[in-house]
Amino acid sequence: MKSIIIISIILISNTYIFSQIPTYQWAYSIGDVGQENLDDIATDSENNIIISGQMYSTTDMDPTEFSEILYQIGQQDAFIEKFNADGYVEWGLNFGGAYYDGVYQIAVDKDDNIFAVGYYRGTIDCDPDMVDVANIPGYGGYDMFLVKFDKNGEFIWAHGFGDVSALDYDDFVNSVAVDDDGSVYITGQFRGSIDFDPGPDVHAINATITSIDCFAAKYNADGEYQWAFRISGFDGEYGTAITIDNNNDVIIAGQFEGTAEFSGHLITAAGGEILGYPKEGDVFIAKHNSDDGSYIWAKTIFGDTEQNAGYSNNAFALKTDADNNIYITGLLYGEGDFDMNDDEFIVTSYADYDNYFAKYSPDGDLIWVHTTAPKLPGYNLDMAIDGNNDIYLTGFFGYSTGVPYEADFDFNPDSIYALQSLGENDIYIAKYDSSAELLWAFSLGGSEYDYATAIALDNDYNICVGGWFFNTDDFDANPDSNFIWLPYTAPDWGDNIWMGKYKQDGITIPQDTTDNPSGIDEITQNNSFIIYPNPAENNIQLKNVNSELFNAQIEILNIHGEVINSFVYKNSSIDISALPVGLYFIRIENEIQKFVKSD
């Protein structure tokens, strides 16, 4: 079988230089006859990977040749599973009751304990041990749980919260964060009256009559109540994300409609009301002191005053960097004023909605904001920040009016970095520096619907990402390497879980392949030459060239795999000066190398 060399060339403007696309390490699928969803992913101090979500049937949660059977308890169970850095299962657990239960989000403390928040209905046993029982009662409707496990998956404690008014209200906790002391913070929304103190004392908070209010609460490492507060109004307030900065301040993001009260400070959504009903919801960011929950500031990304009722801007992910700057991403409908102070900075969605991606100072001052319009239909669903203040986004993009969509992930209007969807929805992972300059982006997927719902970094900045998929997918980011097809177990309905790990380094070379089930040409690694300069402007040089490469056929391909130039290799210099800005590949024989071209 023929072997090839592929040298990827990235032609870019002089404002920045692309980094190397990460190298595929491994990817797995998890699935059985029922649907499984992965909602969150986290890493611990030993670079282990923890995933969480929901399962709808008895499932073998070990994707390797071994097995980790989790037996179904109710109609839908919550699960947590831990993998080591090489992708092998350390342990898995599920818990729940007779009805529908699931984990929304997880957080890991410095001792590698795991905190999980989610929802349940009726009484559930949060201790996965077959003998021990840790029941928390239901309060009517959907209720909220907060549960803590140690690094080995052993149950430590659990709390349940719900409206005690017997009106069967639904209450949800959407996000969790943990600080260096092991204290845990949660946010979500509730109706009626909830006692947030699981101990003998009562610390009840009442929501506004007939309305949904946002809450935030803190518990110490032993699960003891510290404080709780609400963000209230008559039209609905929702806490969707929470994080802790390096000053141990608590930052909450969410959405609200009409007029909301933030610790005595009133803010009215831009859409206002029509006949007493809110026209549109706006996004808020609020900062509080972690010691006592006291108010520091609250600000709003005002939405479109002309937007129709039922459309609300929202916040999917919220993070802080090493300098305590705040990053937020979500959906924008119509116009949004992203200057949360007295000035205006209006951003407009291209279609009905677009993703926004914004950075604010620790005081809530706008630093920059970008939307993916008109470049990217889809969702930014999660975000991670590394120690260099680089930002990682993941989510999905897809077809536009039934045809594959080419999405530009570069926010710079003078340059393009385009990826094309292969199916109905494709996964993307993109990295930006602290100024929102694109460093790299790649897509994953198959012919149908594929989603990335969560992303995390380990201590070596390896990228751990996961989500759901339908059918079979290629999870190798290198467009010309052997496809990494994950098996898909067709459930009675729904989807399978996928998770993968990708390594970042300066020069990445795919590993040798010995098996080729997809029929794609084999790719080998000989390291017979060096590419320089790297980056290059007009020509690339090949140094220490293996003699067998002389008179070899060279092809230059664009990002769609189309050959745009072909010639016989005669010397060590290749002219790339005439190529437009964009991503290209050079194909020779025997080996893969990569480099960057600058303008």
Residues 6+ apart with CB under 8 A from 108: 42, 43, 44, 50, 114, 115, 178
**137 vs 145: CA distance, rounded Å:** 10
**5 vs 514: CA distance, rounded Å:** 16
Q: Quick check: 405 and 476 in contact, CB under 8 A?
A: no
Rg for the chain, CA atoms, rounded = 25
Instruction: Give Cα separations from 65 to 60, 62, 258, 372, 495 (angstroms).
Output: 11, 8, 54, 41, 21
Side-chain-side CA neighbours of 293 within 13 Å: the count stands at: 19
Strand (E) or helix (H) holding 381: strand 378-385
Q: Quick check: 78 and 98 in contact, CB under 8 A?
A: no
pLDDT digit string, tens, across residues 68-82: 778 888 788 899 999
pLDDT digit string, tens, across residues 455-476: 999 999 999 999 987 765 445 5
Residues 6+ apart with CB under 8 A from 282: 255, 256, 257, 269, 270, 271, 300, 301, 302, 303, 312, 313
- Domain ranges in the chain are 174-374, 522-598
Go through 316-343 and write b for each residue having 16 or more CB atoms within 10 A of its CB, e for each that does not.
Answer: bbbbbbeeebbbbbbbbbbbbbbbbeee
Q: Quick check: 427 and 495 in contact, CB under 8 A?
A: no
**194 vs 186: CA distance, rounded Å:** 14
Q: Quick check: 507 and 525 in contact, CB under 8 A?
A: no
If you search the block for the tokens 């590993």, which residue do you land on?
511
Predicted TM-score (pTM) of this structure: 0.78
- pLDDT tens digits in sequence order for the chain, 599 residues long: 333 344 444 443 333 334 578 888 888 888 766 678 899 999 999 999 999 999 887 777 777 767 777 888 878 889 999 999 999 999 999 898 888 899 999 999 999 999 999 999 999 999 988 778 899 999 888 999 999 999 999 999 999 999 877 677 889 999 999 999 999 999 999 999 999 999 999 999 999 887 899 999 999 999 999 999 999 988 889 999 999 999 999 999 999 988 899 999 998 887 555 444 444 679 999 999 999 999 999 999 988 766 544 567 889 999 999 999 999 999 888 788 999 998 889 888 776 777 899 999 999 999 999 887 545 556 888 999 999 999 999 998 775 555 566 677 777 777 777 676 666 778 889 999 999 999 888 888 766 778 899 999 999 999 999 998 776 544 555 544 444 444 444 444 457 888 999 998 753 323 333 333 222 233 333 444 455 654 557 777 655 455 556 677 777 766 545 678 887 776 667 788 887 755 556 666 544 444 444 55
Instruction: Give Cα separations from 404 to 100, 448, 472, 520, 562 (angstroms).
Output: 36, 11, 18, 22, 16
Q: Which two tokens stand for residue 187?
A: 């946010």
153: left (phi over 0), alpha (psi -120 to 50) or beta: left
| 3 state DSSP class of 27 | strand
Q: Which two tokens stand for residue 362?
A: 């620790």
If you search the block for the tokens 């982006």, which residue do you land on?
441
Nearest in space to 44 (alpha carbons), one of 150, 129, 186, 181: 150
Residues 6+ apart with CB under 8 A from 95: 73, 77, 78, 101, 124, 125, 126, 127, 128, 147
Domain 522-598 sits in CATH at: 2.60.40
Q: Quick check: 162 and 122 in contact, CB under 8 A?
A: no
Side-chain-side CA neighbours of 461 within 13 Å: the count stands at: 13
**418 vs 404: CA distance, rounded Å:** 12
Residues 6+ apart with CB under 8 A from 98: 73, 74, 75, 122
Cβ neighbours of 411 (radius 10 Å): 19
**DSSP alpha helices (H): ranges in 133-220?**
none
Q: What is the DSSP string of 95-124?
A: EEESSB-EEEEEEE-TT--EEEEEEE-S-E
**190 vs 161: CA distance, rounded Å:** 10
